[in-house]
Structure 1
Amino acid sequence: MLTRPEPPAGPEVSLPEIHRSVRVPDGAGWLRRMLAFVGPGYLVAVGYMDPGNWATALAGGSAFGYTLLSVALVSSLMAMLLQALCARIGIATGRDLAQLCRDRFPRPVNLALWALAEIAICATDLAELIGTAIALQLLFGIPLLIGVMLTALDALLILWLQHHGVRWLEALVAGLIFLVFGCFATQLALAQPVWGEVLAGYIPSASILTNEEQLYIAIGILGATVMPHNLYLHTAVVQTRAYGLGEARKREAIRFATIDSTAALSLALLVNSAILITAAAVFHAGGRTEVAEIQDAHALLAPMVGTTLAATLFAVALLACGLNATVTATMAGQVVMEGFLGLRMPPALRRLVTRLVAIVPAVIVTWLYGVSGTAQLLILSQVVLSLQLPFAVVPLMLVASSRRQLGAFTAPGWQLWLGWAATVLIVALNLKLLWGFLAE
């Protein structure tokens, strides 16, 4: 028997066109019920392996070998915890984080949070649009500027897929993620890294804090891994499941959604690690310690690995990551705009607005800089994301800690302790980065 999707309980729901649209088997076994919740985690995970991650991982791996693998690991563990809290909040309250902020904070604070969230989404989209355009150029020879403008078509793709149901969108995203994973699994086999050194790279090194260049890239990796817009998006997409509204059913939904997001983010960690390991094994070990441009990495892979297959797989994986990430960033823009502003638009118009907010600056940047300097722009966009991150994480932790808003579903103490510790670490790293800039 299947539970029927219930009509929205109030005048405002997250992503109304797909809200509670996925049926959950009632009375079925544990595995069938869990599989009904698989999907939102993969929509979130694509933000953790977008072209911005590529830029920071390539720069970090080529310059410092395997040292920054520890940053990728810590960032991913923080992401798993924060996304688990997002799933809890969305399911427990039936509202997304932007709506909950609007409920809790005064209007000036909400307007500031909305503006900061939009800046974060613009930085995200800048990286994704440029990354996708680079992949189109590498694979098909399409000029970079035309490639950026072609990415506007992803808004039509989202509308078409959502018209057929969110499961189609989730299937496309998950399929592209596994394609990326397969590409990099093959590349690792071709690169032949020293696995003992790889494992040692997951142990944190003091040089990350003492070396300014390492710290800059490390914060870029943090910004590329724990994405501000994903915190808003996840609280909304978990509500696409028609779980029961009683306490027991909500607790089950929280458990299944946490499994979903943790598994998806574990896969994202493997992909990000593979990018950094490939850069370290091929470029750093080969004496090319300044490879940061994605185009340079593509050009050097074939001669340094000894086969053109590595370069082709690199470009295919980049295109898959870029397409995936632009889809979810557009959805996040919808959640942020509707949640903070209470602004309702027809789906097609809403997609167009959220896409234009990002594509206009991307076109301008590409027009001004062209191929040169794209790596610096990509890394800078990730540092901007990191600087925006506290303004999403702090409201998330305030809601997760609020018994008034979550009631019996308030996060357990160990999650709150770890969550606040991660928040303090994020703020401290950002303050150190700003101090370094001001001291120059």
Structure 2
Amino acid sequence: MAKDKSGYIIAAAFIGPGTVTTASVAGANFGFHLMWALLFSIIATMVLQDMAARLGIATGKGLATNLKDISDKPAFRALFAVLIVAAVGVGNAAYESGNLTGAAIGLDAFVSIGTGNWAMILGAISALLLYSGKYKVIESVLVVLVIAMAVVFFVTLFAAGPQWTDMLSQAMQPQLDVDTITMILALIGTTIVPYNLFLHASLTAQNYAGEDKAESIAASRKQSVMAIGFGGLITLVVMATAMMAFFSQAATMDASNMGQQLEPVLGEGAQWFFAAGLFAAGLTSSITAPLAASYAVCGAFNLSQDMNSRAFRSIWMAIIATGVIIAGMGFKPLSAILFAQAANGLLLPVVAIFLLVVMNKRELLGPFKNGKASNLLGALVVAFVVCLGAYKLVSLF
């Protein structure tokens, strides 16, 4: 059996600065009233990532290639290719700006030269790491740093004496209104990341090539549920620590004081540790986002998916450059990160609908096509996110 770690790579990819920031803001501003949105996101992520992984293993191809091959007609194939590029390209550019901004906030806490300047430096570092072709080694180191930060959040949560009764009471009083809709979309967008569907399918297609498909799918599913579940638990703990530090308190959370939620354990060192973790999370995600975009676009246009090919490199370079430009345009850090997550929430239905279509192709997947349960869960996810997006648009007018 292949030594596949794609489930953990996916979990590491969505535990980026967007997750830390979004969960912190949600906990600080709304307490546990939005816990339902996070739980929905975790379950939905498991469902959709399972489909993507199963598709990659069963066909030996990435999601983009399979989506483009839905129809034999040239016009439809071209349309799908354009839609893939639009959805993943635009989404990843927004996401990349959030990743770079989050990491830049972390570094600026150590050496203050401005988040825009740090974003340029981080973009260059990400480009060099991808150009080397050794991204997995670097990613593994950064994942360890993110896990270390997660451990501190866990310790802080229990050391601070959490108000379990208050948490349960708030969780049992879910909120969904004009004031919370952007935050809900951000929580969904930071957990169910569209580009992770493309990345997961491509990784499993490569890592399980030549293996028994049924056994591979079972192994991949078990690993994904554990990894994504752990990632969701980390997000929940971040939300809880922010809730205890800021919700219903006089202090208001912003980019400069997010680390205060760690002070019960780390004291004055909390801000620095939080900054280091935010940097690690941001750099990890700023590598995986352009990587996924390269897999998706190359698959859509039948280009080489070799990391050293010119086309593959050109795509991730364009994503990183766009992210650096957006990050350096002077948006408020928290606003830029939350916008990136909300944009992902709005782009999700586009990718998910296409995934549902291809997962029902019996001639393509045979016994590994979607069953009734997968289709029902997938349809519910898409319908809910579409309704949220429509509600958000209507509320603007």
Normalization by structure 1: what TM-score? 0.82
In the alignment, which of 128, 131, 139 is matched to residue 156 of structure 1? 128
The secondary structure found in structure 1 opposite 2:183 is: helix
% identical aligned pairs: 24
Residue correspondence of structure 1 range 19-58 to structure 2 within 5 A: 24=1, 36-37=3-4, 39-58=5-24
Q: In the aligned structure 2, how far is the partner of 1:302 from the partner of 1:70?
A: 24
Q: Are 1:357 and 2:357 an aligned pair?
A: no
Q: Which amino acid aligns with 1:317?
A: G
Extract unaligned runs of 5+ from structure 2: none
Residue correspondence of structure 1 range 223-262 to structure 2 within 5 A: 223-245=189-211, 249-262=212-225
1:425 — aligned with what?
Answer: 384
Contact 2:101 2:336 in 1 (8 A): no
Q: In the aligned structure 2, how far is the partner of 1:170 from the partner of 1:315?
A: 18
2:181 — aligned with what?
Answer: 215
C-alpha displacement at 1:346, in angstroms?
6.7
- Give CA-to-partner distance per residue, 1:280-303, whole Å, 9 cap, x none: 100114233x42x332323x4477
After superposing the two structures, state which structure 1 stretch, 180-189 or 422-431, moved more.
180-189
C-alpha displacement at 1:306, in angstroms?
7.9
Q: Are 1:311 and 2:283 an aligned pair?
A: no
C-alpha displacement at 1:87, in angstroms?
1.0
- Give CA-to-partner distance per residue, 1:194-220, whole Å, 9 cap, x none: 123334444461x32xx2111221111
Q: Are 1:378 and 2:337 an aligned pair?
A: yes
Q: In the aligned structure 1, how far is the partner of 2:329 from the partner of 2:209?
A: 49
Contact 1:79 1:226 in 2 (8 A): yes
Q: In the aligned structure 2, how far is the partner of 1:398 from the partner of 1:352?
A: 30
Contact 1:80 1:261 in 2 (8 A): yes
Q: In the aligned structure 1, how far is the partner of 2:266 from the partner of 2:201?
A: 45
Contact 2:290 2:320 in 1 (8 A): no
Q: In the aligned structure 2, how far is the partner of 1:190 from the partner of 1:353?
A: 48
The secondary structure found in structure 2 opposite 1:104 is: coil
- Give CA-to-partner distance per residue, 1:404-429, whole Å, 9 cap, x none: 22111112221221111111111111
Change (3 A) 1:336 1:186: same
- How many residue pairs get matched? 390
Q: In the aligned structure 1, how far is the partner of 2:38 from the partner of 2:281?
A: 17
C-alpha displacement at 1:266, in angstroms?
1.1
Q: In the aligned structure 2, how far is the partner of 1:202 from the partner of 1:253?
A: 37
C-alpha displacement at 1:96, in angstroms?
0.9
Q: Are 1:394 and 2:366 an aligned pair?
A: no
In the alignment, which of 149, 152, 156 is matched to residue 183 of structure 1? 152
Q: Which amino acid aligns with 1:294?
A: A
Q: Which amino acid aligns with 2:338?
A: I
Q: Which amino acid aligns with 1:404?
A: E
Change (3 A) 1:169 1:240: farther
Contact 1:161 1:169 in 2 (8 A): no
Q: In the aligned structure 1, how far is the partner of 2:305 from the partner of 2:36?
A: 43
Q: Which amino acid aligns with 1:180?
A: M
Contact 1:154 1:327 in 2 (8 A): yes
The secondary structure found in structure 2 opposite 1:394 is: helix
C-alpha displacement at 1:150, in angstroms?
1.7
Q: Which amino acid aligns with 2:374?
A: Q
In the alignment, which of 204, 224, 242 is matched to residue 279 of structure 1? 242
Q: In the aligned structure 1, how far is the partner of 2:264 from the partner of 2:134?
A: 43
Q: In the aligned structure 2, how far is the partner of 1:200 from the partner of 1:320?
A: 34
After superposing the two structures, state which structure 1 stretch, 46-55 or 379-388, moved more.
46-55
Change (3 A) 1:62 1:109: same
Normalization by structure 2: what TM-score? 0.90
C-alpha displacement at 1:159, in angstroms?
4.4
CA RMSD of aligned residues (A): 2.4
Q: Are 1:325 and 2:285 an aligned pair?
A: yes
In the alignment, which of 67, 78, 82 is matched to residue 33 of structure 2? 67
Change (3 A) 1:302 1:221: closer
Contact 1:148 1:359 in 2 (8 A): no
Contact 2:156 2:262 in 1 (8 A): no
Q: Which amino acid aligns with 1:284?
A: F
Contact 2:89 2:319 in 1 (8 A): no
